[in-house]
Structure 1
Amino acid sequence: MPTADNAPRRDALNLRIAPAERNLIDRAAASLGVTRTDFILGAARRAAEDALLDRSVMAVSPEAYAEFLARLDVPAQPNERLRQTMQSPSPWAQP
């Protein structure tokens, strides 16, 4: 159990945010059963990891790249789950 002497150090991060954005974040955090802080930290961490991973270089053979492009050109096949997703309202647009 951490005590005051060995507790990990945490820094404060202050943000200015519009009330509508804060409310959206609060609703999303509540829907996941986490605190606003945990929700924001998780989202920021994922965004930071994605930003860094986007800077990664992947080398593949010309054949593998051609196969990749061919698969991207294949249209998505309609299915019930896709149909439901496309017909449901966006979570951020709901009151």
Structure 2
Amino acid sequence: MPAKAVKIETHPVNLRMRNDTRALIDRAAEIRGKNRSEFMIEAAVAAAQETLLDQTLVLVDRETYDFFLRVLDQPPSGEGFERLMSRTPPWLEE
């Protein structure tokens, strides 16, 4: 039996913006091969997800939290850290 098509409901959103902003968005959308609406929705969804992920609350017990603070208070060290700090940054390499 064929699968039933699911109807996805959409709603219009009207935005007012300056001409230069609209032109900038249109240029970027064209580069991505998208229309203005697709580009703006994609960008808005990414920004919304990032904002929500930044608000994630992690609950731990007191012992775990104290351990976490002790680790943060320790200066970085070890072979990996020494190797990283002795390396020439890529922007200074010739």
Q: Is the TM value for this pair above 0.5?
A: yes
Q: Which has the higher contact order (CA 8 A, sep 6+)?
A: 1
Distance in 1 (alpha carbons) for counterparts of 2:72 and 2:89:
26
Partner residue, 1:89: none
Matches within 5 A, 1:79-90: 79=90, 82=91
* Residue ranges of structure 1 left out of the alignment (5+ in a row): 84-95
The CA deviation string for residues 53-80 of structure 1, in whole angstroms up to 9 with x for no partner, is 111134661244346x858xx7x9531x
Runs of 4 or more consecutive aligned structure 1 residues displaced over 4 Å after TM superposition = none
2:69 to 40, 62, 68: 62
Aligned to 1:78: 89
Name the amino acid aligned to 1:62.
Answer: L
What is the alpha-carbon distance in structure 1 between the residues aligned to residue 89 and residue 73 of structure 2? 25
TM-score (norm 1): 0.61
- Check if 1:30 corresponds to 2:27: no
How many residue pairs were aligned?
A: 75
Aligned to 1:14: 14
- Structure with higher Rg: it is 2
Q: CA deviation at 1:35?
A: 1.1
Alpha-carbon separation, structure 2, partners of 1:56 and 1:46 = 16
Give TM-score, length-normalised by structure 2: 0.61
